[in-house]
């Protein structure tokens, strides 16, 4: 067992990485690796672009909700409206947080 652990510790990390992905000869499969890396980078760029689109839509939605809430709140005339503002604002904020974390609103 100690021979096996010594052999694993002496293995070149690049060789181990390439063998894990089924690449036997680095120079021979260079085009394959380049194509895989290009595909991975394009996928990552696409994911980042979608993240920013989702964030923009989400913040726009939050702005509209709070704008509407503020409009309704200013039209109200009741003695406990400050408490109502705090409680409902907290509930709306918590709902938006849960929607963002679970990606329920936009995906």
Distance of CA 41 to the CA centre of its chain: 16
Q: What pLDDT is attached to residue 1?
A: 47
Q: How many residues does the chain have?
A: 107
- pLDDT tens digits, one per residue of 31-49: 877 888 888 899 999 999 9
Burial of 21 (0-12, 13-18, 19+ CB in 10 A): exposed
CA-nearest of 42, 62, 41, 68 to 106 is: 62
pTM for the whole thing? Answer: 0.47
Q: What is the dihedral of CA 6, 10, 14, 15, to 10 degrees?
A: -80
- Res. 105 pLDDT band, cuts 50 70 90: low
Looking at per-residue confidence, does 3 or 74 come out higher?
74
- DSSP character for 104? -
Give the pLDDT of residue 42: 94
pLDDT > 70 fraction of the chain, expressed in percent and rounded: 82
């Amino acid at each position: 067992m100690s021979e096996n652990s010594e052999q694993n510790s002496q293995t070149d990390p690049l060789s181990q990485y390439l063998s894990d992905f089924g690449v036997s000869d680095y120079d021979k499969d260079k085009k394959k690796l380049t194509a895989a890396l290009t595909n991975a980078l394009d996928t990552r760029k696409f994911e980042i672009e979608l993240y920013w689109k989702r964030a923009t839509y989400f913040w726009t939605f939050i702005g509209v909700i709070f704008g509407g809430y503020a409009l309704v709140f200013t039209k109200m005339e009741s003695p406990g409206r400050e408490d109502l503002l705090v409680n409902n604002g907290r509930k709306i904020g918590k709902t938006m947080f849960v929607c963002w974390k679970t990606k329920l609103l936009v995906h």
